[in-house]
Amino acid sequence: MSNEKIAVLMGGRSLEREVSLKSGERVCDALSALGYRVLALDVTAELVETLRAERPDACYIALHGKYGEDGTIQELLEFLGIPYTGPGVKASALAWDKAVAKRLFVEAGIPTPAWVTLTADAFKEMGAATALDLVPGAVGGFPMCVKPTTQGSALGLARVDGPEALAEALLSALSYATSALVEKWIEGTELSVSVLDGVDGSQVLPPVEIHAKSGLFDFNAMYTAGETDYFVPARVAPDVVERAAAYARQVHDLLGCRDVSRVDMIVEGEDVFVLECNTSPGMTETSLLPMAAQAAGMTFQDVVEQLIRSALSRRSQ
């Protein structure tokens, strides 16, 4: 039995609070079963005071969304000298901003759908609304996908099939973030490919195929039972699986991730496109990382222990 004290950080004030609490509760149960001393912490204004008083050996970050995935909590924990699970400050910040990450993908030769990024300030201060007619030509026509550049759980995601719906979709996306990404909609098979780092290097887990019954894998499809079918391993050709795995590993390394990442992709015919990278994947009953790990022969406890042991190994660094 381990005597190490692990603080599980969950909840907070992000729009993904409820999902985070579910992830955190499952992680707490797994750590307790593994014999760790567990301190469950809802992230509030008392967090720093509590961490300084409790002096945990490490923190398991079960936070999702703003403050949990954008480098904020990572920067704070480094300042406090507490090791934590998951990617560091730089990787978190790069992956959190989908538009920045996509630019890095293009520079590295990783295929990603054509896009444009429009900020709230560009609309308010520079008249960007008068150029919306140029957007279809920039991304390759309709349909298009509109989403906030900095959110998780597909919040603010919309499919736009014609010019009359574009402004409203942008307005909705900009209610979640200060900038929105308009991306060519790729009709195909959605894949999620997770990467776990271990003592023997990184391991790419089997891809999870996602089939949302509504046709849109948004927040409702993610977290409502029966709204989405998942297939593990994915029902795609072996060479597609191989390329998807290679892209997942490349993105993981490109952004500087450690411990874990989940890369979302879309497959159209034989072509694989990378959409984004998630640095704090969900750990709920319907989350994709645990599904992929199970297909690779790992239990939920195996995943949690591998992540926390990685964090604990950095105690003296």
Residues 6+ apart with CB under 8 A from 130: none
Q: How far apart are CA 61 and CA 72, in angstroms?
A: 12
Q: HSE-up of 310 (CA within 13 Å, CB side)?
A: 24
Whether 223 is catalytic is yes
Looking at 69, 183, 262, 287, which residue is catalytic?
262
- Starting from the edge strand earliest in sequence, which strands make up the sheet with 37-42, in order? 37-42, 5-10, 58-61
Catalytic, out of 153, 179, 261, 280: 153
**Catalytic residue selected from 12, 176, 282, 305:** 282
Helices (H) and strands (E) in the chain, counts: 12, 13
- Rg (Cα) of the chain, in Å, rounded? 19
Catalytic option among 223, 243, 247, 249: 223
Tokens linked to 277: 């990278």
Q: Is 310 a catalytic residue?
A: no
Q: Output the CA–CA distances (angstroms, integers) from residue 175 to 148, 155, 197, in the order listed.
A: 8, 10, 35
276 part of the active site: yes
According to DSSP, residue 211 is labeled E
Q: Exactly one of 197, 218, 264, 305 is catalytic; name it.
A: 264
Catalytic site includes residue 278: yes
| Residues identified as active-site | 16, 153, 223, 262, 264, 276, 278, 282
